[in-house]
Structure 1
Amino acid sequence: MLLKFSVGNFLSFKNKTTLNLAATSIKEHNDTNIFSTERSALLKGAVIYGANASGKSNFIRAMSTMRRLVLLSFDKSSTNVLGVTPFLLNTETEKAPSFFETVFIINDIRYRYGFEVDDKKIHAEWLFEAIMSAEKPLFLREENGIEVMKNFPEGKGLEERTRDNALFLAVADQFNGKIAKRILQWFNNFNTISGLSHEGYKGVTFKMLENKQTSLALLDFYKKLDLGFDDITISKKIFDPKEFPYDIPESLVKQLVTDLEGAFKMDIRTIHKKYNAKDKVVGKVEFDMRSQESAGANKLFNISGPMFDVLNGGGVLVVDELDDSLHPLLTLAVTKLFNSKEFNRNNAQLVFATHDTNLLYYGNYRRDQIYFVEKDQYGASDMYALVEYKEEGKTIRKDRSFEKDYIEGRYGAIPFIGNLSNIVTEWQEK
């Protein structure tokens, strides 16, 4: 369960910025949008708005980067770079390390884990544990070494085994540390996906449709969305080199044949009713999902696997550009899954970036779930929740029209569009 995620000096985020999923005291949609643990009440997700190039995607990339470093830093060699870019528009930050920190709950124990890192090395790393209310350190890493506390015995003796570009937590996991293993598993269930480049998630959906226990929920979801087909068939076919396009260079074909030897191709077909002249059903027709269904249907199919995987496991799903290629009602349907007691029985959380302002009206989001990202005049992004926003010294009331206010620019985080008629006039005069 995610409580907070913070990032600083990374891409367009110069200063520390935090997404907080701890529910505030406001009384909105308490029966659907929050869930309670022994420690606190948490939100089932958040929605992030902002103009193009404001930093929405960069915030999600920060989440993805932290996850990648936690899960993969141990596998790198000592010469590998870490793929971290600081805020480059300021002389104080361009050479400084980036900051990442996450607060989360595992088995009713709160952990706070973070690190400071540049492209070549880990500058600092820390892990705190709060079994009751007081927070105690498990280990602290600084430039001059790693201090392992007595309540983290699994880390003893691993200090000298940790490379400069490897996380100590990942090293402890490799040596079967119990706490480290639990935390690495939490990060494994902290999934970030792209709503633009979603083809790669099809395999997850395919596996879930192959499983009888998970396929029923997916098929029921497709039918309720009225995507234009009645059913789906899936099958595996041995890869056939004859299916390559004729214009691919022969050298590339030979390489691909070698790489894909013994591989399977996923064949996904949708089932449609066939009618006669009197509009009576006379049979069925199969369509190829990729080539004969819409871009929106393909996207929904591709991301539905990761969605239901998180819903079943109770993890965190972070999606950039969720609404791309989707009708607003389909986007709404996806978000409602996570606020549904029927589908979200394990308190999964959904965080996503979007331009779909309809959700500010129809989505039934609380003010502490709505976030805005905006860049200042120096190119630095900032993010703030609607519940924090003040107008004339007062917080925004829950009965305001959030969508109307946002479009009118009351909350910021919208593009500044000049007088387009001037552009047209200047163009015509040339």
Structure 2
Amino acid sequence: MLVSFSVENFRSFSKEQTFSLVASGRLSGTHDSHTVAIPNSELRVLKVGVLYGANGAGKSSLFKALSYMKKMVLRAGKPHGTLREPYKFSKLRDEPSTFDLQFICEGELYRYGFKVDDSQILEEWLLQVSGKKEVIIYERVTDAAGGVKIEPAGLGKSEKAYLLAKIGGPANQTFLATANATLKDSDLSGHVKNVIHWFKYKLRLTGPDENIEPVGHMLADNVAFREFAGEFLRASSTGVQSLGVEKKEITEQDLEKIIPKSVLPTLLRRLEDSDEGIGIVQMANGEELLLERGDGNRFYQLSVHSNHQVGDEVNSRLPLTEESDGTRRLLQLLPALHVARSKDATYFIDEIDRSMHPMLIWKFLETFLNACDEKNSQIIVTTHESNLLDLELLRRDEIWFAEKDFSLSTNLYSLSDFKVRKDLEVRKHYLQGRFGAVPFLGRLDGLIDSGEEACH
């Protein structure tokens, strides 16, 4: 679970800003089921974070900052550069960017972060946190000549990661990315394994047009999910009664007709290196290609369809691509609800309200909280949907705002920073501008008048 995330000098963030999901002690007794104990601490962490702000205020910058951090942890760097995106409206563009994350994994609280410029990782750290005490697992610095020095204070000498730390690694690549690219999964152990696995499997980042999971593969492979998804869509008045999926085996020659020849060799190499032995390709038409490693590679084309009821019979079938944007968006998000019932994971969904009805978004969050009542699953969303500003649904410390100041830099703050009565209609006061983070609309009548004159 994500406990806090700090970022400095990245996209719309100039000075350091912190998004914290540490539960406020002042709100004890309010939706206590929304909190989970932080290991070796009297503090608790929240299961939900909802971030509001006007268009361009920096909500998606927070999502992209965490996405950049995940990419730097898991992917080997290119020959040159770090592809960071510094704040561009001041001399800060030449200064380093900093990312610092606290999260719970395997019953431990970790703090991981790095400082990076355009060409290299300047500093990197991994700490184990217990109360107010921080134990160093490793620290890394890069000197002016590009030499990497890593002090593996908390790594066992028998760990292969310890030997790798002594070697160092590329200056533009994090040590975790070096370990992930160099060591087999079976060779990872201890804290390094915990952290890499959390970023790889537990931290799920979903953009406005992305699936949380490959839906076609889940529908074909998991009967329970197929039934759950059909039932949820039916209860949501989408008109869908049930879902089906066709799994058609194709040859490598067929695959070459679908995927560009320049891309196919890379996909096959990734399939050979995959721990799960499968690879999934999302096609622009909504279909998926499933690649399975075995004695000989096998390839499948997955096509999802919906079933509708006409009269007394369920007999009208549509390809998923012909369903509404809202129905397809809802189906994209449903794996989070299904997985949350059985596995711990942290979901960060950017623009959850894309094509979704306000009541469905409200119900989605309520269902998530009910589904993960016994699990340490967590969901963070960015949105404009003001119906979620409901203290019957959320705690005050679960509601956050993003707002730009006079220097065009994003500031983050929580509703819990304000003195708010328990019975206050938060939505009404937010739309009136009491908490900021709403667009300031200038006078538009002049534009309308000039437009009318141009029409004559």
TM-score bin (small chain): 0.7 to 0.9
Aligned match of 2:126: 127
Structure 1 residue 30 corresponds to structure 2 residue 31 = yes
Aligned match of 2:431: 407
Residue segments in structure 1 that go unaligned for 5+ positions in a row = 245-250, 276-280, 390-394
Count of paired positions: 406
Matches within 5 A, 1:11-410: 11-25=11-25, 26-27=27-28, 29-38=30-39, 39=41, 40-72=43-75, 75-77=76-78, 79-91=79-91, 93-131=92-130, 133-144=132-143, 145-150=149-154, 153=157, 154=159, 155-157=161-163, 158-173=165-180, 174=183, 176-188=188-200, 189-195=202-208, 197-198=209-210, 201=212, 203-204=214-215, 206-238=217-249, 255=260, 259=264, 263-275=299-311, 281-282=312-313, 284-291=315-322, 293-340=323-370, 342-361=371-390, 364-389=393-418, 395-410=419-434
How far does the alpha carbon of each residue in 1:386-426 deviate from its partner, in whole angstroms, 9 at most, with x for none? 1113xxxxx22332211111101111111111112122123
Structure 1 position 33, deviation (Å): 2.0
SS at match of 1:305: helix
SS at match of 1:60: helix
Aligned match of 2:276: none
How far does the alpha carbon of each residue in 1:7-59 deviate from its partner, in whole angstroms, 9 at most, with x for none? 11000000111111111121464243223355332211110000001100111
Separation in structure 1 between the aligned mates of residue 3 and residue 228 of structure 2, nearest angstrom: 28
SS at match of 1:166: coil
Structure 1 position 140, deviation (Å): 1.6
CA contact (8 A) 1:310 1:316 kept: no
Name the aligned partner's letter for residue 152 of structure 2: V
Aligned match of 1:247: none
Name the aligned partner's letter for residue 398 of structure 1: K
SS at match of 1:10: coil
Aligned match of 1:416: 440
CA contact (8 A) 1:103 1:112 kept: yes
CA contact (8 A) 1:328 1:358 kept: yes
More divergent stretch after superposition (300-309 vs 179-188): 300-309
Name the aligned partner's letter for residue 176 of structure 2: L
Q: What TM-score, normalized to structure 1? A: 0.86
Structure 1 position 172, deviation (Å): 4.1
CA contact (8 A) 1:374 1:382 kept: yes
Q: What TM-score, normalized to structure 2? A: 0.81
CA contact (8 A) 2:7 2:17 kept: yes
Structure 1 position 138, deviation (Å): 1.5
CA contact (8 A) 2:150 2:168 kept: no
Separation in structure 1 between the aligned mates of residue 127 and residue 415 of structure 2, nearest angstrom: 30
Separation in structure 1 between the aligned mates of residue 349 and residue 216 of structure 2, nearest angstrom: 16
Name the aligned partner's letter for residue 228 of structure 1: G
Alpha carbons of structure 1 residues 290 and 163: separation in structure 2 relative to 1, 3 Å: same
Between the two proteins, what is the percent identity of the paired residues? 27
SS at match of 2:305: strand
Name the aligned partner's letter for residue 56 of structure 1: K
Residue segments in structure 2 that go unaligned for 5+ positions in a row = 144-148, 265-288, 292-297
Alpha carbons of structure 1 residues 240 and 126: separation in structure 2 relative to 1, 3 Å: closer
